[in-house]
Structure 1
Amino acid sequence: MTDVMQVKGLLFRHSDEKRWLKRPELFRLGPIDLNVQRGETIAIIGENRAGKSLLAKLLVGALAADEGEIFLNNEKYNARYKSSAKTQSRTHDIRMIFQHSSEAMNPAIPVGRILDEPLRLNTRLPESKRKAIIEETLAKVGLLREHYYYYRHMLSDGQQQRVALARSIMLQPKVLVADEPFAALDPSIRSQTVNLILKLQKEMGLAFVFISHNLGIVRHIADKIVVMENGEIVETGKTETIFRWPQHELTKKLIMAYQSLVPQQTLR
């Protein structure tokens, strides 16, 4: 496999202004170096405030970095700029799935218009062609073409998550970044969504970068694991290697916590 995305020297500094009786708070992320191959799934794990969600926002261009470069298919993008023609091209190739899909859907707008927005803003396709693409994508994520006319309140949680997934693949991206995409779903819907993502990944050759606290899902779908602590990558490796032979103290702590919650026979 070849690298579809390379992240080099990604650095972000954030400082909260001093408040009454409080010292200013400084958070630094990076420098981060990361390679993602076509069709690969990378899981980013760590404790709260490790910088996982911040890294996701930097990758998709929702926040501008202070330093660093992102390469997509060997084309270089400067991660320091949030809005430019080249950054817009980058956001076609890297799309994000949000944790709470319902909050990302306007309740006053039908599904068809929600899915039409990325096509209308980023392509010059006529309305008829855009509608055909939307209906095709709805079918691809396991929804009906009739869902084009549905509103948010008419959809179940699982269907809302499928709409979010449809929106993320509308522009045929190379990389999907997801921040806890399964946390708000009940176990049965979560399992269906995981299998759907694996199916789309195989069909489209997508690379998938996802943040999760659920190490059961991580072990099931991730090819590689990245462990973060205090804004830095402290360990990385193949999934089974990390689970069987963790090296960093934080990794050992996370794996031990996971193993204490599952029957021992499932670990063999």
Structure 2
Amino acid sequence: MRTAWRVAGALATVVALLLSTMGLWRTFADARTPTDVAERSIPFDGKSLRIEVAAGDQVSLDIIPGRAGALLVQRVLRWSRGRPDVTDLWDAKTGTLRLGAVCPGSDQPGGPVCRADYLVFIPPETDLEADTTGGNLSVSDLFGKLRLSSVSGDIEADDITGAFWARSGTGSVAAYRLDVERADVEVGAGDVKLSFTSVPTDVKAVVRTAGDVVLEVPPAAYDATVEAAETDVNIEQRPEAKRKILARAPSGHVFVCCE
């Protein structure tokens, strides 16, 4: 019996050591992941800008206000096997910035670490169109018209003054502190959440398949059209009101309330 206990104890010790070693190896491997930081300044005096992000989920894009007369692009790359192939192209004629990073095999389950995080500073009054494939897209503190889209990534906006338009195939859209007259948001599958600091005149928030809609608007009379499996509407509704709200989530919940 003592021998059996000794064997069991030895096996437990071996397992613990293996797990500990694996944990240490994972920590050391993460610590050795190469990182490359780069920055680029681009002269810019246009009124509108288009940013296109290629590749998949491994590329994220954050856009914030910078100084007039220039675009500033900051990029952080991280990889565990081969250095990413980077796209960083500026077309001055069309006002288009193309960004991206691809690693072989990074799109496979359990593939190597491969990430590119872009932070782009733009003049705050610029009209912006930004498209991504699968990474997250974030925009904040801008005053121009926004047109944002993603195939499968999430979109987030904060403190926006100007028209707001957003589309995502299988991602969610969340926009806070909107000081806009018009907001037009539609997703295939995902959630939509919009919060306004001023009374909007025209709001469209649509989920085509699965997902919920949450709208927070200042107190006022609205002509609201709400279609959902479950609805909770706590605003003043008048069919003759000039302010329009369309909220739709056929299999989800629509919540509309006062800010």
TM-score surpassing 0.5? no
When Rg is computed on C-alpha atoms for both structures, the one with the higher figure is 2
Select the structure with the greater relative contact order (CA < 8 A; seq sep ≥ 6).
1
Q: State TM-score, norm by structure 2.
A: 0.30
More strand by share: 2
Structure number having the greater helix percentage: 1
TM-score by length of 1: 0.29
